[in-house]
Structure 1
Amino acid sequence: MPRPSLLEQHPAPPQLPEVVRRLRERYLPDPPLPERSAEPLDGLIETILSQQNLGVITRRQFAGLKAVYRTWESALLDGPDGIETALRAVGGGLIRIKADRIWNVLHMLQEERGLLSLQDTKVMDDAQVRALLEGLPGVGPKTASCVLLFDLARPAMPVDTHIERISRRLELVPAKWNAVNIERWYEQVLPRTWTERYTFHVSTIRHGQQVCRSQRPRCAGCLLQDLCPSAGIFLSGEQTAEADPSGQQAKKSRPRTVEAAITADRQS
């Protein structure tokens, strides 16, 4: 008997369209037009650099590599030690690991495809591109999805730590699911258009950075507070800490139902 799909295991909750709408209207009401990179290999290497990294450091490291290496062939010839030296000159974390990953990707592309380019992925279908990318060393589903979404303008749905955290706090997905399952679930429940998925991806990350932070989320001013089962827990904890310095917390209350919240919001 075939195993049920993630959507069959966990149907899309009724609040999902409202969550999508509010995030879009707050953070990205006018999304850009889709645009493909001139060389998707650049995007792949920049995405590898972005792993466990701040955006400003990622951009600095990528610019540092491009300043040292006019072509990726020269980076391949310089070896992982040379790539590490180039990255170390501009700073950042996990430099040796990322140097090894970048060199290994370049080496495999050269060995198996005979060229250091991914321009031909523009004419491949999504499944072919994903298979190619995930077959490279150090490239997992999230990295492949980022290249598909940002460099090839395909309707992929990368799930980063912000999206994973927010999805769990809103109880859109089961708490036990990992990022790979969450991404596969979103692939089934979100409209399969680049604009819809790009907008949800970017707006949810911005919400995670600005409001629904890992530590001390700003639930009091959150546009999703009435839809979030976790908000009552965090707010109750804040109020209890203020009223009771001893640290003993009262019983946490849950907010009103999602259906009632959606109805009230649309009527306001």
Structure 2
Amino acid sequence: MSTEFDGLVAVITGGASGIGLATAQTLSARGAKVACLDLNPEVPEPLVGVRCDVADDATVVAAVDAVFAEFGRIDILVNNAGIGAQGDVGANPDEEWARVLDINVVGMARVSRAALPYLRRSPAAAIVNTCSIAAWAGLPQRALYSASKGAVYGLTLAMAADHVREGIRVNCVAPGTVDTPWVGRLLDAAPDPAAERAALSARQPTGRLVSADEVANAIAYLAGPASGATVGTVLAVDGGMHGLRLRPQPS
């Protein structure tokens, strides 16, 4: 069993399900003590669940301070909490734009702001943000979601520039369509769930959805001491969707 994270403490938002839970379990298996911040923080041991609403600064500060009080340090922050949105640019009212951007973008800023004083004390500080293929590939019916993830992309690079000289590395992952409970609910709501799953799988060159564990392993790489020279990087975990342009297969 790898012990590369021995002695390190990680905080993961949205850590009770999907990519967040997979990341928490991966880091824990490699030696980290992991706190999962979530609206519903029920997680298996040895993970520690802490209730947190990234849209509420008071709960964010309380949750991050509680993690430090419990473990005496914070070394890794994974900003993973987020929500989806569907439709073209005219589909959502102002209130929904404000809600999604508040959670997906400002929420990352809130948690990062609360964690920075503790990360500055760490000899192995790292922040990893969960971005998306939607930040750099035009996806239909995802205008609001894409805007939020494009902002995460820019935020990641700005944070990396601001904090690299403090010894805090900031990077992000950009997953393709990941086989998570959230995506499962979207598929279940489609008129033909099987056809929708097949279409989403086909648009990734590997011909399948990305697994949460594959994203978790990429996050672990970016968060770990072995990637000390990796800063301001956006790491695609998308089955080749962004970078490859395959020719159609002959019939």
Higher-RCO chain (CA-CA 8 Å, sequence separation at least 6): 1
TM over 0.5: no
TM-score for the superposition, normalised by structure 2: 0.25
Rg larger in structure: 1
TM-score for the superposition, normalised by structure 1: 0.24
Choose between structure 1 and 2: higher strand proportion: 2
